[in-house]
Amino acid sequence: MKFGLAGDSLGAHRKKGMLPTAADWLRKTKELGYQGIMISVQTLPLDDKAALKDLKALADELGLYVELRLGRPLIEKAVDEGKADRIFGAAKLFGGKVLASMLENCFLREQQKWDAPRIDENIKGLGKSLRRIAKVARDYDLPVGFENHIDYRTDEIERILHEVDSPFIGILYDTANQLFLAEDPVDSCRRLASRIVAVHFKDGYVIDDPVGVQIVWCVPGEGIVDLDKITDILVGTGREMNLNLELIAPQVLPITIKTEEFWTILGRPRDDNSPGMKLFKAGVAVPHTLPPTDPDEQVRFEAQELKRSVAPMRRFTKQ
């Protein structure tokens, strides 16, 4: 098992224009001490085969694995237009064992206030979409992992997977995202384990908030997610997976668990004794300093926290 970066971990660097090319992303990954990267397809010169081969050669020279990621609508568009080879072919060129994507955009459930009929409709639509993608993925012998992207409860993700029931459609499991649905990530990981094909390795601490809690992403092992248990579950699947650290260091996000609307949209009654709620209670008392807001300071802080994360990532991957 190797460890690398999820591309969003370098978000502050990207926003400052410090990573203009895919080669810059690779070199920064190596500089920070990581063994690979899950990078957006949109950073690559997809129509320049020679340039793609040069990037593959650079990754090999740096000793990095490269996994590609692209949003589901763009994968679907490429399939519809007969251009799937631009995406799947590039992923195969880099030697990837999975193509990464996501089920929905973050926070759509909350923003659009999904009710039960809307969720049923979404799941049927996703089933249709993923079945089409599965056919192409099978042709390339390349599974596609869709991230639990702060959109569906674990039982709903299970329903989506049942709709597709293909070994070429799986889950890119983000180890902290189910917190936003008041779930324990360990329980969720255990339930989805048989279909997990890729990983965003993430931890966070919580601070109290008038409407709930705020979560701040942090160095793995310093937050409330039991990453040791999750790693054991992942190893127990017997599948070869890389742990891609997603540490969006400057980001602070609310979880409005003290409001009735949160539970209405979640579609569950409030249960303060649930595993997810117990995690929040246990974590609130831990003191931390909030990340900086100045863009230059964010770059410095981002690099600092990513470097601090190398040692725990080695421990979690038993290196």
Angle at 319 between CA 300 and CA 3, to 5 degrees: 50
**Residue 147 is assigned to a structural domain of this protein:** yes
Residue 285 pLDDT > 60, yes or no?
no
**Residue 117 is assigned to a structural domain of this protein:** yes
Distance CA 208, CA 283 (A): 9
Cβ–Cβ < 8 Å for 155, 127: no
**Residue 218 is assigned to a structural domain of this protein:** no
**Residue 196 is assigned to a structural domain of this protein:** yes
9 secondary structure, DSSP code: G
* Structure-token pair, residue 261: 């609307």
Q: How confident is the model at residue 250 (pLDDT cuts 50, 70, 90)?
A: confident
Cβ–Cβ < 8 Å for 174, 200: yes
Residue 37 pLDDT > 80, yes or no?
yes
199-237: pLDDT as tens digits:
999 999 998 889 999 999 999 999 999 999 999 999 999
pTM for the model? 0.96
**Residue 76 is assigned to a structural domain of this protein:** yes
Q: What is the dihedral of CA 138, 45, 301, 290, to 10 degrees?
A: -50
Which residues form the domain of 95?
3-202+225-247
Distance CA 202, CA 184 (A): 13
**Count of the separate structural domains present in the chain:** 1
Mean local confidence (pLDDT), 29-33: 98
Choose among 202, 228, 103, 112: nearest CA to 158: 103
Residues in contact with 74: Cβ distance below 8 Å, sequence separation at least 6, in sequence order: 41, 87
> Of 51-60, 76-85, 278-287, which range is least confident?
278-287
**Residue 219 is assigned to a structural domain of this protein:** no
**Residue 67 is assigned to a structural domain of this protein:** yes
Cβ–Cβ < 8 Å for 18, 295: no
Report pLDDT for 284.
65
Query: For the chain, how far is it from start to end, CA to CA, in angstroms?
Result: 9
Phi-psi category of residue 108: left, alpha or beta, with phi > 0 → left and psi -120 to 50 → alpha: alpha
169-202: pLDDT as tens digits:
999 999 999 999 999 999 999 999 999 999 999 9
The CATH number of whichever domain residue 57 belongs to comes to: 3.20.20.150
**Residue 297 is assigned to a structural domain of this protein:** no
DSSP string, 138-195: HHHT--EEEE--SSS-HHHHHHHHHHH--TTEEEEEETTGGGGGT--HHHHHHHHGGG
240 secondary structure, DSSP code: -
